[in-house]
């Protein structure tokens, strides 16, 4: 039997549950940096560029360039994530590692890196200059944006909503104009994701107001649980693979 996409180890990270967790975290990131780290959005780089130009236009001077820091780190982190991904896959191919296994552990490594960065941010006092924590959170957002791009086959962003809203609207149109039931289901998935993202924004606000710098540690813990879930789910996939092969042989 040919292995379906849902039977692959690497596909575990693109199931609905983990992607909703990532979306919740994406909303949380922006709330956290906006409330506790100088009013900057770590995900929405368009907003940061707008805030920088508006600051310069209104005469705030050099202080407006603080919005450029998360933008720069977002771009650099995207570049580094692409570079790391390419190097990792080439090494796996050279060593003869199963591509599916390599992809699973690569995505797991991205999550672990996010945990380390976010934990470091949570230990930086709010009295410390915001440039470092904002840079770290923007790097996390960039890694997540670039590494996790789909949910059950539909493209989406786990760190902002603009493109998700565009995709939602397009699927609603197809459902109405073409009577396409599959488009309606896809639109429902986007609604579910956006709701989780907004829930993350709200949770991020209240938890940050309550605990300030430490709020981001909640996401570190959540991602640690997500890693544990992924490892357990992978074991289940590997256990079922031999049984599926035997069934196919019969």
Q: What is the pLDDT of residues 32-55, one digit of tens each?
A: 999 999 888 888 788 889 989 999
Length of the chain: 250
pLDDT at 250: 43
Q: Which residues contact 207 (CB under 8 A, 6 or more apart)?
A: 28, 215, 218
At residue 249, does pLDDT exceed 60? no
- State what percent of residues in the chain have pLDDT above 70: 93
pLDDT at 7: 61
Short-list 157, 151, 175, 141, CA closest to 71 = 141
> Of 86-95, 102-111, 198-207, 233-242, where does the model show the most confidence?
198-207
Query: For 110-161, how does the pLDDT look when each residue is reduced to its tens digit (9 = 90+)?
Result: 999 999 999 999 999 999 999 899 999 999 999 999 999 999 889 999 999 9
**Any idea which residue has 């996390």 for tokens?**
140
Cα angle at 20 between 15 and 21, to 5 degrees?
Answer: 105
Q: How many CB atoms lie under 10 A from the CB of residue 123?
A: 13
Cα angle at 193 between 8 and 146, to 5 degrees?
Answer: 60
Please provide the average confidence, as pLDDT, over all residues in the chain: 90
């Amino acid at each position: 039997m040919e292995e379906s996409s849902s039977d692959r180890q690497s596909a575990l990270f693109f199931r609905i549950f983990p992607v909703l967790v990532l979306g919740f975290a994406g909303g949380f990131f922006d709330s956290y940096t906006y409330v506790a780290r100088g009013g900057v959005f770590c995900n929405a780089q368009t907003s940061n560029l707008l805030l920088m130009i508006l600051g310069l236009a209104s005469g705030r001077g050099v202080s407006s360039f603080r919005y450029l820091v998360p933008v720069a780190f977002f771009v650099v982190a995207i570049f580094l994530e692409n570079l790391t991904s390419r190097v990792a896959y080439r090494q796996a191919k050279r060593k003869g590692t199963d591509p599916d296994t390599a992809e699973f552990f690569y995505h797991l490594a991205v999550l672990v890196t996010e945990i380390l960065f976010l934990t470091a941010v949570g230990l930086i006092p709010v009295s410390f200059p915001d440039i470092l924590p904002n840079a770290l959170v923007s790097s996390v957002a960039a890694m997540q944006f670039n590494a996790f791009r789909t949910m059950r086959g539909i493209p989406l962003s786990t760190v902002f909503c603009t493109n998700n809203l565009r995709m939602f609207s397009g699927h609603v149109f197809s459902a109405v104009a073409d009577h396409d039931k599959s488009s309606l289901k896809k639109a429902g998935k986007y609604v579910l994701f956006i709701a989780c993202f907004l829930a993350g924004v709200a949770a991020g606000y209240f938890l940050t107001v309550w605990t300030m710098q430490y709020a981001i540690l909640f996401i570190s813990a959540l991602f640690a649980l997500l890693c544990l879930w992924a490892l357990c789910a992978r074991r289940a996939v590997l256990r079922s693979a031999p049984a599926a092969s035997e069934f196919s042989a019969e």
